[in-house]
A and B are shown apart, each in its own frame.
Chain A
Amino acid sequence: MTIRQKICLLAGASLIAFSTSALAETTVRVTIAEYSKGTGPYFEEAAKAFEAANPDTKIQIEVVPWDNLQQKLTTDISAGANADLSIIGTRWLLDYVKEGIVAPLDDHITPDFKARFIDTFLSPSVMNGKVYGLPIAASARAMYYNKDIFAKAGIDTPPATWADFKTDAEKIKKLGGETYGFGLQGKEIETDVYFYYGMWSNGGEIVKDGKSGLDSQAAIDTAKLYKSFIDEGLTQPGVTSYSREDVQNLFKQGKVATVITAPFLSNQIKTEAPNLKYGVAPIPAGPSGDKGTYGVTDSIVLFENSKNKEAAWKFLDFIFTKEQRTKFDKVEGFLPVNAEEAKDPYFADNADLKVFTSLLPNARFAPVIPGWEDIAQTTSNAIQKIYLGQGDPEATLKEAAAKVNETLK
């Protein structure tokens, strides 16, 4: 054996030794929902920073498009191949808790840790008095309006009530051309929520006393109101072919004067339509002054079957520090969930975000009920039928409510 060969052998042996020691490290797998193209890079960077501080732990980030998240989690969990941590919609959390899939975090949570959070955003993840998830993403909804179109139509302020809004939309229609007052979503994810905005203003609830609120007078009035917007040509034509992104795009193109959506639209406008003059206003109120916005959080959860709970918790602790949260929320355009973070001038002095945070006291979070997605689908289908004129609002909503009540049982 030549010296050269010996060196090669030694090098090989040390490589093997090195790789086995690498295997001995703890690896924490994290499933991440992709909110934007910045999500993956942010988490990779956070993982690197964490690994630098904790050399014995490796973080493995798995980025999944939001639309495929449920499918991936379902298949992974049923095969027992799920990651240690995952982002999930807080509205799904009850199903996970009921089946004992996710672990409570209370043993790890110190009062100091808890104090980091704005309570409104932490409380949706608390079930049966235990914390089952931490709010990784938070948003609320408000009305974006196009200042130029409003000015052209002679409207000075954003509408305070739905009645004002309708008058405004009529004025915008009189401008002629293909500009519409109300950007109404009628397709895909959150079609139901777009309907709830009006329903909440009319004093309705998604679920009241364990029963669906879809057959309430508030819901019926809202359906008739939205339908009148459609029939009178105050929305873009063909609402059932416009998903949330599609309506946002119409708004960026100046084809609709308003859209109700989440704060991340501000970031998109900044890069895609920097010349668009827009304002953010609360969702219009109903006849008796009721108003509401949708508050949404996504939670990051720790799976019960994780073998690396300690290491996983350390990573959670790390990404919920003020520095990490600030970075993440700036990338995504979400609302701050961390009280210290909210004082950062970027958030505190941001005119758009101020409107969103001012709405939080009236925010409704998805109710803690099983089968949220099932109810969402039933509701969306009923509303699409009404928008298309294929069903009488009252009868269609009553039928949907009966179906939802079956799910709630």
Chain B
Amino acid sequence: MQRATAPYVLILPSFILAAAIILWPLKEIISLSLHDVNRFGMIRDFIGLQHFRVLFADPDFIAATWRTLFWTASVVVGTLVISVPIALILNEDFYGRGIARILIMLPWAISLTMTAIVWRWALNGESGMLNSALRGLGLIDTNIQWLAEASTAFPMQIFIGILVSIPFTVTIFLGGLSSVPDDLYEAAATEGAGSWDQFRLITLPLLRPFINIAFVLNTIYVFNSFPIIWATTQGGPANSTDILVTYLYKTGFRVGKLGEAAAVSLIMFAILLVFTIIYVRLAMREAKS
């Protein structure tokens, strides 16, 4: 009996802490999402799933949901694809590697909001750096109005998203690469494996757990990432670059529909919960093997 209860008693303090930080706000948000709430957070009548019904009838919300999934997938996959070669290069021993590593990591030190605001200026149609650079190189004759339409604004936002996710991802991969023993490559080379085979058969499988972690963590960060889109377009024009977080912010703090905003955040929480479960399962599988 003693032995059976002891683990639970030991877990209790951290459980209470987690409950206070996670479960209590969750309960509050659920309650907000099921009630009529005025713009100052005062709870009125219970209205059941009305807020959810309104949301699913709103084409802007549906579009924002799909766009969020596209945004997350593009940024995460783009980041992984670019980060692997960067990590491989930075793992090689070459003159000036220290500086190269610093250059790759440097953007990490700048707040995301500031990076996004700098990009907003750079993308300005008439006085932006990007247009003047492209004109200077003779690539374009007339200015491109990057942020005027979703067709140019959203790809740029994805590009910025990838750019700011690289440092973190490369760091994870470098950690992974340093744990690959050199004698494996030596042995493979003696057996006649070329560098592509070495990458495919040794590096990639051994890097796999790190790719998994980078995948899930990036997914969670990017899914919730607010500053890039907010600072460049605020989800506009006409909601055409909205993702769920910017939609949530507008609904809650601009329009003052706190009940609907709570419902959006619950839906986001549900989607992220699925990712987290995947992450935990991956981590457990790693621990077993």
Residues of A within 8 A of B (CB): 70-71, 74-75, 77-79, 95, 99, 101, 178, 186-188, 236-242, 246, 249-250, 253, 255, 371, 373-374, 377, 380-382, 384-385, 387-388, 390
- The answer to whether B255 and A99 touch across the interface, beta carbons within 8 angstroms, is no
Task: Indicate whether B245 reaches chain A with its CB closer than 8 angstroms.
Answer: no
Across the interface, B234 reaches (CB within 8 A) one of A95, A101, A188, A374, namely: A188
Question: Given contacts A239-B148, A241-B145, A250-B126, is CB(A77)–CB(B253) below 8 Å?
Answer: no
Q: When the two chains form their complex, are residues A241 and B254 in contact, meaning their CB atoms are under 8 A apart?
A: no
Q: How far is the CB of A252 from chain B (nearest CB, A)?
A: 11
Q: Are B236 and A99 in contact (CB under 8 A)?
A: no
Docked complex Cα distance between A249 and B125 (Å) = 12
Q: B254 near A385 (CB under 8 angstroms)?
A: no
**Residues of B near any A CB (own CB < 8 A):** 38-42, 123-127, 142-143, 145-149, 153, 233-234, 236-239, 250, 252-258
Which residue of chain B has its CB nearest to the CB of A385? B238
Given A74-B41, A95-B39, A95-B256 in contact, is the A388-B149 Cβ separation under 8 Å? yes
Contact A246 B124 (CB under 8 A): yes
Main secondary structure, interface of A, reads helix
Query: Can you name the residue of chain B whose Cβ is closest to the Cβ of A237?
Result: B145
A373 to B249, CA, bound (A): 13
How many Å from the CB of B87 to the closest CB on chain A?
Answer: 36
The distance in angstroms between the C-alpha atoms of A390 and B256, with both chains bound, is: 28
Rank and list the top 10 A-B pairs by shortest CB-CB distance, nearest first.
Answer: A238-B145, A78-B41, A238-B148, A241-B147, A384-B237, A241-B148, A240-B237, A71-B253, A384-B238, A381-B238
Q: List 24 A-B contacts (CB under 8 A).
A: A70-B254, A70-B256, A71-B253, A74-B252, A74-B253, A77-B41, A78-B40, A78-B258, A95-B256, A99-B39, A236-B125, A237-B145, A238-B145, A238-B148, A239-B148, A241-B237, A242-B125, A373-B255, A380-B238, A381-B238, A384-B238, A385-B237, A387-B237, A388-B238
A188 and B236 contact, Cβ closer than 8 Å, known pairs A77-B41, A373-B256: yes
Contacts of A249 in B (CB 8 A): 127
Please pick, from B234, B236, B258, the residue contacting A74 in the complex, using a CB distance under 8 A: B258
- B258 cross-chain contacts in A, Cβ below 8 A: 74, 78
- CB contacts (< 8 Å) of A95 on chain B: these are 39, 256
